[in-house]
Amino acid sequence: MRRIETFMRAVDAGSLAGAARSLDLTPSAVSRAVSELEAALGVTVFYRTTRQLRLTADGEELYRRGRLLLDGLADLDAAMSRRSRQLSGTLHVGLSVNISRYIVTPGLAAFMRRHPALRIELSVVSHPREMHARGIDILLRAGLPADSNLIARKLAEQRWDVYAAPAYLATAGVPRGPDDLTRHRCVVHAPAALARPLDEWVFERAGERRVIKISPVLRTDDREALIAAVVGGAGIMRIGMFDPALVTSGRLRKILTDWSCPGGQAFYAMYRKSARLPPRIAAFLEFAEQAFATFDPDAVTMLRAASGRRPDPAPTRSRRESAGP
């Protein structure tokens, strides 16, 4: 088909050089494509002279039939494009509870209004191996799993910070540096997916690195319960949060802000590799990117991915399993 299109462009341009310019190819590449077409069909399509190209009888017949073929393909492409904009069927989305509640579902109504014939099924899924068994089309999750053959597109990155309630700080005082944490009441998240609690808090500043071993007064695998306890004044936590309103409303206060806390999880959309991304998945991927980009515009708890569309990364090969939200 590419050779036929090149031949058609040469006829329309009146020369091989003109076809090369319109196709952004070299004249030799255009000449080679025409020669290969003639060899494949066993005919000569041009009388070649130094001044111009003139069609043979076989060339004229090939041009007539080729025009019908290309016009038919253009009509088919336009029809399929119109149909792809009218999404239908069911889209199966896997995602964590927090991504669902805080980021995706608040704006889902607008997406569904744009695609009224599309049905969406949301499932709490955390690992790509569940995608096949549960028929998941696209997975939104924190962190890259090991040895996945899926395509992964980064959506955002969660910030890790240290927080406490104003009421706690009013009583216990504000830590001035990481070492002061050993004299405070600290609470620790112990994710079920990890073998040990997150009780070593890492801080970095201008090339300096501090690792503080925490002796928690409270430890839990329920991160939302941990946050609720700290909002109530239970102590200090180091965590990646979803809800920026807890900070902007003053219910929680960031402390040790002149130090950074490495280790924040990145969020990805993961889907199967295919020659052409199915329209349902492409539309939801665009929606998810926008949802993450607008969720926390002031980057209180979330850093957005770099702007601009990029080619999808190669299949992922990460070194460890995520224990993210």
Co-location of 97 and 70 in the same domain = no
Q: Is residue 206 part of a domain?
A: yes
pTM: 0.63
Most confident of 286-290, 301-305, 317-321: 286-290
Higher per-residue pLDDT: 306 or 210? 210
What's the confidence (pLDDT) of residue 320?
Answer: 33
Domain boundary at 31, 51, 85, which?
Answer: 85
Number of domains in the chain: 3
- Rounded distance, CA 235 to CA 164, Å? 6
Question: Do 147 and 271 belong to one domain?
Answer: yes
9 in a structural domain:
yes
Domain assignment of residue 319, yes or no: no
User: Would 311 be classed as within a structural domain?
Assistant: no
Give the whole-angstrom CA distance, residue 315 versus residue 301.
28
Q: 77-101 burial, b if ≥16 CB within 10 A, otherwise e?
A: eeeeeeeeeebeeebbbbbbebbbe
Q: What whole-number distance in Å separates Cα of residue 169 and Cα of residue 237?
A: 12
- CATH number, residue 295: 3.40.190.10
Task: Based on the fold, state whether residues 147 and 167 are members of the same structural domain.
Answer: no
In a domain, 315, yes or no: no
Tell whether 150 and 164 lie within a shared domain: no
Average confidence (pLDDT) over 89-98: 90
What CATH number is given to the structural domain containing 75?
A: 1.10.10.10
Q: In sequence order, which residues have a C-beta less than 8 Å from that of residue 51 and are 6 or more positions away? A: none
Within a domain: 318: no
pLDDT of residue 50: 59
Q: Are residues 77 and 208 in the same domain?
A: no
Please state the rounded mean pLDDT for residues 141-164.
Answer: 84
* 227 and 105 within one domain: no
Length of the chain: 325
45 plus 170 within the same structural domain: no
Judge if 22 and 36 occupy the same domain: yes
Q: Please, are residues 202 and 215 in contact by the beta-carbon 8 Å criterion?
A: no
- 38-52, 122-136, 157-171, 297-311, range with greatest mean pLDDT: 157-171
Same domain, 249 and 295: no
Alpha helices in 87-134 (DSSP H): 97-98, 108-114, 129-134
pLDDT at 30: 86
Q: Are residues 240 and 106 in the same domain?
A: no
Domain shared by 182 and 108, yes or no: no
User: Average pLDDT in the 207-228 region?
Assistant: 92
- Name the residue with higher pLDDT: 12 or 77: 12
- Identify the pLDDT of residue 82: 56
User: Could you count the other beta carbons within 10 Å of the beta carbon of residue 184?
Assistant: 18
The confidence score (pLDDT) of residue 148 equals: 66
What are the Cα distances from residue 303, in Å, to 90, 101, 159, 227, 251? 31, 18, 7, 20, 21
Is the pLDDT at 13 greater than 90? The verdict is no
More confident of the two residues 144 and 110: 110
Q: Is residue 260 part of a domain?
A: no
Sorted by sequence, the CB contacts under 8 Å of residue 261 that are 6+ apart come out as 159, 160, 161, 162, 201, 202, 203, 204, 238
Interval 200-227 mean pLDDT: 92
- Which residue did the predictor score with more confidence, 104 or 86? 104
111-115, 165-169, 255-259, 318-322: segment of lowest average pLDDT: 318-322
Last residue of a domain, one of 40, 62, 85: 85
| E strand map for 253-309 | 253-255, 266-271, 302-304
Q: What is the pLDDT of residue 317?
A: 39
For residue 123, the tally of other CB atoms under 10 A from its CB is: 15
- Mean pLDDT computed over every residue of the chain: 84
Say how far apart CA 325 and CA 140 lie, in whole Å: 11
Distance CA 30, CA 49 (A): 16
Kindly state whether residue 314 falls inside one of the protein's structural domains. no
CB 254 within 8 A of CB 247: yes
Do 149 and 293 sit in the same domain of this protein? yes
Residues of the chain with pLDDT > 70, as a percent, come to: 88
> Both tokens of residue 224?
């939302």
Question: Quick one: pLDDT at residue 307?
Answer: 47
**pLDDT of amino acid 85:** 62
In order of 112, 131, 232, 310, the CA distances from 287 in angstroms are 10, 20, 35, 16
Residue 81: which domain range?
Answer: 2-85
Decide if pLDDT at 228 tops 80: yes
For residue 209, the one-letter residue type is: R
Q: Which of 118-127, 158-167, 213-222 bottoms out in mean pLDDT, i.e. has the lowest?
A: 118-127
